[in-house]
């Protein structure tokens, strides 16, 4: 039996959202699929005060990944996409994830 990881996680729309460095994982391992995103590049933007620059994710690769323990390697990835901006990637990824978890 798998050991449950204990800790506090950010919950978004009832599912855990975990980020470590350039990797973001969204979804429950109890579902058939999870959303995995990798930040490939960042861009600098100037805030409204016109003096502060911040670095924000720019190019994102998203994948819908099977949680089936019998799948290995490339068979785990069922959908790939690439987007510019974290908002666009996450928004598209959630829609695709919900569709896969609902129908497959």
Q: What is the pLDDT of residues 10-35, one digit of tens each?
A: 888 888 899 999 999 999 889 999 99
Q: Counting Cβ atoms within 10 Å, is residue 16 exposed (0-12), middle (13-18) or buried (19+)?
A: middle
CA dihedral sign, ordered 13, 93, 61, 25: positive
Q: Is the model's pLDDT at 80 over the cut of 90? A: yes
Q: pTM for this one?
A: 0.81
> Cβ distance 57 to 42 under 8 Å?
yes
> Cβ distance 15 to 90 under 8 Å?
no
Q: Please report the pLDDT score of residue 1 as a whole number.
A: 37
| Helix, strand, coil percent content, the chain, rounded in steps of 5 | 20, 45, 35
Q: Is the model's pLDDT at 39 over the cut of 90? A: yes
């Amino acid at each position: 039996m798998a050991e449950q990881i204990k800790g506090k996680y950010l919950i978004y729309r009832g599912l855990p959202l975990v980020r470590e460095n350039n990797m973001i994982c969204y979804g429950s391992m109890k579902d058939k699929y999870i959303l995995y995103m990798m930040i490939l590049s960042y861009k600098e933007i100037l805030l409204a005060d016109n003096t502060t620059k911040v670095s924000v994710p720019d190019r994102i690769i998203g994948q819908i990944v099977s949680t089936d323990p019998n799948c290995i390697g490339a068979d785990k990835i069922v959908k790939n996409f690439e987007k510019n901006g974290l908002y666009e990637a996450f928004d598209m990824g959630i829609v695709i994830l919900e569709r896969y978890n609902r129908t497959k």
